[in-house]
Structure 1
Amino acid sequence: MSAVYSVDVSITAPVNDTEVTARVADAIRNLFPEADPVHREGELVAEVHTMEGFSEELHRAEILDTARSIFFDSLSGDTFVFDLKKQAAFEGRVNFAVGDPSELGDVHVEVTVREPDAESYVDYVAPPTEDGQPLDPE
């Protein structure tokens, strides 16, 4: 892809007393391999500047349409947000959390697109599909 994207991806996940911090960190890194989570006041936080690994998982799991819907539903200006189930993330799978948060809390992701624009970045991370296949095979 020839476009250059400038994005800030903030990731937070609560760490409960009953959880092993390293396992929650692994859950984050499984979907965002570039992340280096830091423990702060009962949660792990990380910031990355790419969603390449996450996008690959969306493609592999064939849930691009679901992802696009969630991203565009939350889009406000240059930012979109979504939550992920921690257990699925620990297993390396994307499972969007909708409705009430799970008992142990969810992984919260906030994406701010600096360049070129949020809509183009969503198209890059989760391209539109036809018959379940990305229109742009890149």
Structure 2
Amino acid sequence: MTAIYRIEATITAPIEDTEVGDRVVDAVENLFPNAEIDRHEGGIDATTHSLGRFSELLHRQEILDTARSEFFRRQSGPYFSFSLKKQAAFQGVVNFAVGNESELGDIDVEVRVDEPDVESYIDHVAPPTEDGRPITAGDADDRR
């Protein structure tokens, strides 16, 4: 049986006077291609109901443990959030922004999980790993 996930991710990013606004939009679309983007004076606001492409990039870049750490570090109730570097996102690369915000500002993402629960959704987007490889539900069953 396939789990059904109901989430809403809110994405915000400033557009500084020294930046080309279309590049910031492209950066968000590279990581979240299904996002509905609203560009306004000073930045963008976007919403998506899927982190599919983002999850694919986490797997491809082999940064699942880093992602899980960031997600759980900033998890509260049915929400988790994280920040990303714009320049890396423009290149289609996930690079978590930790520490001081960059000069141009970061891409901030807040995810609300309606179903099933936040921990299960994090496991779906960035599954736990063993020896650097994702552990799936089937793998856990094989060990029993």
Aligned mates of 1:23, 1:99 — CA distance in 2: 23
Aligned mates of 2:2, 2:36 — CA distance in 1: 27
**CA shift for structure 1 position 38:** 1.3
Tell me the TM-score normalised to structure 1 length: 0.97
Distance 1:98 1:18, change over 3 A: same
Give the aligned partner of residue 98 of structure 2. Answer: 98
Give the aligned partner of residue 43 of structure 1. Answer: 43
**What amino acid does structure 2 have at the position aligned with 1:85?**
K
What's the C-alpha RMSD, in Å, of the aligned pairs? Answer: 1.3
**Which residues of 2 match residues 1-138 of structure 1 at below 5 A?**
2-136=2-136
Instruction: Give ranges in structure 1 of 5+ residues lacking alignment.
Output: none
Instruction: Percent identity, please.
Output: 60
Structure 1 contact 79–112 (Cα < 8 Å) conserved: yes
**CA shift for structure 1 position 137:** 8.0
Tell me the TM-score normalised to structure 2 length: 0.93
Runs of 4+ in 1 over 6 A off after TM superposition: none
- Provide the aligned length of Structure 1 versus Structure 2: 138
Larger Rg: 2
Give the aligned partner of residue 141 of structure 2. Answer: none
Aligned mates of 2:114, 2:35 — CA distance in 1: 19
